[in-house]
């Protein structure tokens, strides 16, 4: 690819769309980023920032259909005199059993994605719709799909399998793991330090851990879907399967009610009854808010211990994601209970969100590294499109 080319990253959720525009010269330079919220429901809004974080546009958005929003984003880039992308990279939450690396979007790839919508019905439909909207408006614009599950393709079978019948394994029922683009970025940021035994804690509204040995994922907390693992903002994490059966048989729950119960009304929000946001819970005087924070920290500490067991020790612990990067109190409480793993943190460095936050005498390095999934998407898109151009020639 030409070194000055521009790539647009798209991360489409069920009712929101995030985008970031990068220019590729000697390095990857962020030109602009933005987010459209409440797509398809009243109160749609947009916010666009330049590469330095200054607001270029903010306020209500009169469009609510995804295809119109895609067109408006491209038109807006031109109106703001921003360069037009030559390729688009998409974050795809789930790749199913067959998609384990970034791919150029083709008709066959779209067919395959539609077949696995049932794996994550909240996430994939929006991503597919965004791809189709771009293809309809810009049929010659190359698009690349980057799978959040791909990083965990190295999981050994002993970690990937559920203790269930072989037929289900053959149907793709297994531990996939998620947040892979974030983990991939952290591994690249660690450089040679990733060669040891590393646990990465991606803590945001969705939260998970990955056990990484020599840069490869060997275990992770999320499972078949992003609902699994430990408690999150609105998701329950792992539950006793008997509880699900109880709700089905005794309380009359159907699939829709279960989905609401475990994905939208559980986690920090469910326990606190106040909010799914850690900052709001910290400021609240409601004792349930403090209980929710304590439960989150307790479960996180337990899972770090489990990942350390999978790695047979730990050399580096990394906190990332919005909570991991900014909640010094949570990091302190979690690490305070992990001294048996050789983890000691410096209270002053931790309070200042410095990197590293481990004390000089700590046997385990503890780091705080901001993640950048968009940059990973840019790099994959550049590589995939570059390979396609080498094979077929530029458009």
Where in the sequence numbering do the catalytic residues fall? 148
Query: Percentage helix, strand, coil, to 5, in the chain?
Result: 45, 20, 35
Q: Exposed, middle or buried, 70 (CB in 10 Å: 0-12/13-18/19+)? A: buried
- Kindly state the helix (H) or strand (E) to which residue 256 belongs, with its residue range: helix 255-259
**Which phi and psi angles does 355 have, rounded to 5°?**
-135, 120
Beta strand spans in the chain (E): 6-12, 16-24, 28-37, 45-50, 55-60, 87-92, 103-104, 142-147, 197-203, 207-213, 216-220, 316-320, 365-368
Contact 346, 357 (CB under 8 A): yes
User: Helix 66-79 and helix 124-137: axis angle, to 10°?
Assistant: 60
Contacts (Cβ under 8 Å, ≥6 apart) of 229: 207, 208, 209, 220, 221, 222, 223, 237, 238, 303
β-bridge partners, 145? 90, 103
Beta bridge partners of 19: 10, 34
Is-cis flag, bond preceding 17, omega within 30? no
Angle among Cα 361, 366, 367 to the nearest 5 degrees reads 135
């Amino acid at each position: 690819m030409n070194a000055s080319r521009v790539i647009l990253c798209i991360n489409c959720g069920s009712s929101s769309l995030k985008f970031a525009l990068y220019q590729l010269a000697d390095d990857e330079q962020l030109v602009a980023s933005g987010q459209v919220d409440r797509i398809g429901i009243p109160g749609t809004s947009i916010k666009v920032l330049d590469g330095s974080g200054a607001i270029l546009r903010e306020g209500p958005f009169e469009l609510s259909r995804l295809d119109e929003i895609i067109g408006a984003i491209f038109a807006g880039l031109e109106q703001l005199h921003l360069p037009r992308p030559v390729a688009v990279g998409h974050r795809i939450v789930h790749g199913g059993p067959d998609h384990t690396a970034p791919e150029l979007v083709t008709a066959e790839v779209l067919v395959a994605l539609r077949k696995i919508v049932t794996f994550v019905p909240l996430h994939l439909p929006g991503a597919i719709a965004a791809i189709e909207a771009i293809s309809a408006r810009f049929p010659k614009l190359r698009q690349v799909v980057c799978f959040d599950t791909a990083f965990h393709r190295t999981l050994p079978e002993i970690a990937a399998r559920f203790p269930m019948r072989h037929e289900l394994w053959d149907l793709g029922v297994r531990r996939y793991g998620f947040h892979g683009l974030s983990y991939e970025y952290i591994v690249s940021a660690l450089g040679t330090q990733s060669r040891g035994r590393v646990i990465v804690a991606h803590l945001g509204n969705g939260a998970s851990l990955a056990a990484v040995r020599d840069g490869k994922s060997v275990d992770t907390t999320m499972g078949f879907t992003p609902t699994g693992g430990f408690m999150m903002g609105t998701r329950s994490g792992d539950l006793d399967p008997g509880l699900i059966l109880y709700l089905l048989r005794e309380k009359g729950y159907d699939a829709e009610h279960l989905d609401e119960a475990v994905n939208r009304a559980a986690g920090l929000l469910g326990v606190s009854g106040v909010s799914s946001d850690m900052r709001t819970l910290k400021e609240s005087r409601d004792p349930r808010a403090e209980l929710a924070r304590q439960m989150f920290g307790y479960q996180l500490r337990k899972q770090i211990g489990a990942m350390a067991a999978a790695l047979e020790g730990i050399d580096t612990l990394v906190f990332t994601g919005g909570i991991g990067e900014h909640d010094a109190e949570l990091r302190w409480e979690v690490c305070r209970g992990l001294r048996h793993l050789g983890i000691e943190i410096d209270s002053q460095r931790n309070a200042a969100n410095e990197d590293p936050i481990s004390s000089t005498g700590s046997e385990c390095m503890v780091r705080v590294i901001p993640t950048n999934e968009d940059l990973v998407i840019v790099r994959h898109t550049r590589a995939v499109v570059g390979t396609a151009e080498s094979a077929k020639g530029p458009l």
